[in-house]
Amino acid sequence: MKFKTQVVSGVRWTSISVIAKAVLQLIQLMVLVRFLDKSDFGIMAILMIFINFSQVFVDFGISKAIVHYQNISRSDLGTLYCVNVLFGLLIYCGLFICSEYIAFFYGEPLLIDYLRIIGIILVIQSFGLQFDVLFQKSLKFNIIAKIEIFAVFVSFCLSIILAVNNFGVMALIYPMIAMTIIKTFIFIFFGIKEYGFSFAFNIKCVRKYIVFGSYSVGDSVVSTISGQMDVILIGKFIGVESLGIYNVLKDFILRSTQIINPIVTKVAFPLMSKINDNLNSLKYMYLKIINYTSSIAFPVYTIAIVMAEDILYVLLGEKWISQAILLRILAVWAMFYSISSPVGALIMAAGKPNVSFYWNSTRLIYMPVVVYISSFWGEIGVAVGMLIVSLLLYIPGWYFLIYRICNASLKEYSGSLLKSFCISTTIGIVVYFFIEFISNNLYIKLFFVLPLGFLILLFLNKYLNKDFYNAILDIIRK
């Protein structure tokens, strides 16, 4: 009973945090696209490639090791804290030096200063990283949620003010730095009160954490590079403005997945780590997670496919309507992306980060080729290339990443997705039929068709997908 209560509480608080952040960031995007150039978003996309890549080394998989190992001494935690801070300083120095070469690669001299400014995030973040992880491990998601919502709200306000006052790319950079400072300071303050802090530095005692993390960091490096290969090569071969268009739409379409994934990784990983010695329980929880994930993501992406022009017009403005085809392709690709994300929590909970490392290493071989060839047909070509790869990897991904870890058969795996796929398809057909044959009026679509689709979604889940429906009711009631 206590286990179920922890699950419900964790999901509820993480959901509150993630949804609040997503709403603020969506409003932020809606405002910023009207004040900033598309090239500004392209430059920011390039900056985030290298920030995300660098953050992997700052953490070095230590966070996942702390969650995985159930009994860690204060001395070990003190040493790991110092290791994180040391890595933060070293990685920032490396980024500072490499900024000139990165700018030369993209032919954008301004990237030098931008990278050196935004890179300070790496140092700041390293001081609060461990306390964030300890709160996750203790399943105290209410504290994490409140901190993150406050920090994102401050960042949101600052970005709007700077954008309106013509700060350009800096309207994206300064708010991110401010958000990191706020989160780090508050995590340190409450973390020391909750867990204390003991300074220590004994590398021999923390060797097992470093070894565990080394597989994780290797996996994260190759997955970050292969996962961002589209952004890396579009910026190089097609141009910064095209990258801005592609990345805004990709970020926009992945917004619902970005709501779901933190809930999965923050809640499911520590909970699955507690039952990683029971294969049947691990399989059962994983299949439930991908069912819940797809039950949320699939309907959202289906609506994006059917109503692409309307969504772009309302949220991003009239000048973005011409990108409807790109949005539709990315929406189909995002369905595969959304169901692939929870496997990371499964792999880490099972203590087998090497499996993910080997899988992503193979992706690093073929993804550059796929993206490079497809880039000759522009942003749409890249999106189609990404979609084809996702289709081809469905069965190999199941076998190597899921079956070999939790023994879930292809029938069980696909069956956990089938209900949400059928429900989403039904909603898509109903909405398309209404728009095509009854009314194409924008206001009718927004205030009647979408609510109608939502009611159909509730009805079908209640009778065809009862576990998901009851889980949502549990979260709301408790």
Q: Are 105 and 160 in contact (CB under 8 A)?
A: no
Residue 166, Ramachandran bin (φ over 0: left; ψ between -120 and 50: alpha; else beta): left
Same domain, 402 and 285: yes
Q: Find tokens 């590398």 and name the residue.
A: 203
pTM of the full structure: 0.80
Q: Find tokens 């189609």 and name the residue.
A: 384
Same domain, 194 and 295: no
The structure tokens listed for 425 are: 């398809």
In this predicted model, what pLDDT tens digit does every residue of 212-248 receive, in sequence order?
Answer: 777 677 777 887 887 788 888 898 888 888 899 999 9
Q: Is 426 exposed, middle or buried (0-12, 13-18, 19+ CB in 10 A)?
A: middle
The structure tokens listed for 436 are: 């095509």
| Single residue among 194, 227, 260 that ends a domain in this structure | 227
Same domain, 30 and 152: yes
Helix extents (H) in 141-278: 141-164, 170-195, 207-227, 229-233, 240-253, 255-263, 269-274
Same domain, 36 and 21: yes
Rounded average pLDDT per 10-residue block, the chain, 478 residues = 58 76 86 90 93 86 74 77 88 95 91 96 89 77 85 94 93 95 91 77 73 73 82 88 90 77 59 64 84 88 92 87 94 90 76 77 86 90 94 92 88 92 92 78 76 87 81 65
d(CA 186, CA 182): 6
Backbone angles phi, psi at 397, to 5 degrees: -65, -40
| Single residue among 193, 227, 261 that ends a domain in this structure | 227
Residue 199, Ramachandran bin (φ over 0: left; ψ between -120 and 50: alpha; else beta): beta
In this predicted model, what pLDDT tens digit does every residue of 129-174 receive, in sequence order?
Answer: 888 888 877 767 778 888 889 999 999 999 999 999 999 999 999 9
Same domain, 385 and 371: yes
Q: Are 370 and 391 in contact (CB under 8 A)?
A: no
Same domain, 289 and 194: no
What does the pLDDT read at residue 260? 67
**Number of structural domains found in the chain:** 2
Same domain, 101 and 163: yes
What does the pLDDT read at residue 104? 92
DSSP string, 132-151: HHHHHHTT-HHHHHHHHHHH
The structure tokens listed for 6 are: 């922890």
Q: Are 382 and 371 in contact (CB under 8 A)?
A: yes
Domain that holds residue 381: 231-478
Same domain, 330 and 223: no
What does the pLDDT read at residue 262? 62
Same domain, 242 and 150: no
What does the pLDDT read at residue 173? 96
Same domain, 174 and 275: no
What does the pLDDT read at residue 1? 46
Same domain, 177 and 240: no
Same domain, 16 and 145: yes
| Single residue among 162, 193, 227 that ends a domain in this structure | 227
